[in-house]
Amino acid sequence: QSEPEYLCSNSGLIEPKKLPNPVRESKTHQELHRELLMAWIAIWFEV
């Protein structure tokens, strides 16, 4: 059986389940983010 499309909170209200972001989960996005982060770190510590 699949996961429900909602979560129950402590207040008793039903909250919607957070939808996955296909862009942020993509391998190419993760690689680009890592490359930009490493470039920023290299520039930051070079000074």
Q: What is the pLDDT of residue 39?
A: 96
* Residue 37 counted as domain residue: yes
* Residue 44 counted as domain residue: yes
Q: What is the pLDDT of residue 6?
A: 60
* Residue 31 counted as domain residue: yes
How many domains is the chain partitioned into structurally? 1
Task: Judge whether 17 and 3 are in contact, CB under 8 Å.
Answer: yes
Could you give the angle at the alpha carbon of 24 between the alpha carbons of 44 and 28, nearest 5°? 75
Tell me the per-residue pLDDT of 1-47, one tens digit each, with 9 for 90 and over.
555 566 666 777 878 888 888 888 899 999 999 999 999 999 998 86
Q: What is the pLDDT of residue 42?
A: 93
Q: What is the pLDDT of residue 37?
A: 96
The residue segments making up the domain with residue 47 are 21-47
